[in-house]
């Protein structure tokens, strides 16, 4: 009977708390993706293709993450989810104006989520990866390699 509680009620174990946190984050990303599509449809018409791409991939990754949580593969679910967030922020920053883009500050959220869900060591790897990609974008901006 206790095995069913991981899906609904967070318990005392670290795995159950991690699953609950990851599930809440996935639900939040799904909600924000829906709001992004809605705002693109209503106000920002030039962002419809970008919103559809981001939201479509977010929905697929979130469904995969939910499925992995149900199969109790929390580490893999967390890795896929955090890697997806990092790639979305990286793609968004690269296709915008690089480090000057407001989405660049999304790395802070990705690092925090990675450290909370996967541990401090993963958070530190995300810091180094984000700083390295930020350095690449500074270089790319200086030599006009970023898209207009």
Give 42-71 pLDDT, tens digit per residue: 888 887 888 888 899 999 999 999 999 999
Q: What is the pLDDT of residue 5?
A: 44
Provide the whole-model pTM.
0.85
Q: How far is CA 6 from CA 1, 3, 9, 22, in A?
A: 10, 6, 6, 12
| 128, pLDDT greater than 50 | yes
Give 63-102 pLDDT, tens digit per residue: 999 999 999 899 999 999 999 999 999 998 888 888 888 8
Question: Is there a contact between 55 and 37 (Cβ–Cβ < 8 Å)?
Answer: yes
């Amino acid at each position: 009977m206790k095995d069913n509680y991981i899906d609904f009620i967070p318990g005392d174990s670290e795995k159950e708390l991690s699953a609950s946190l990851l599930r809440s984050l996935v639900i939040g990303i799904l909600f924000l993706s829906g709001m992004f599509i809605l705002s693109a449809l209503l106000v920002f018409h030039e962002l419809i293709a970008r919103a559809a791409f981001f939201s479509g991939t977010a929905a697929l990754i979130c469904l995969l993450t939910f499925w992995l949580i149900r199969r109790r593969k929390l580490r893999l679910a967390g890795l896929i989810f955090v890697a997806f967030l990092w790639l979305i922020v990286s793609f968004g920053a690269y296709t915008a104006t690089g480090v000057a883009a407001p989405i660049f500050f999304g790395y802070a959220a990705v690092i925090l989520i990675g450290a909370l869900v996967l541990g401090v060591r993963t958070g530190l790897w995300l810091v180094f990866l984000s700083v390295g990609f930020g350095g690449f974008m500074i270089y790319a901006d200086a030599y006009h390699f970023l898209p207009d």
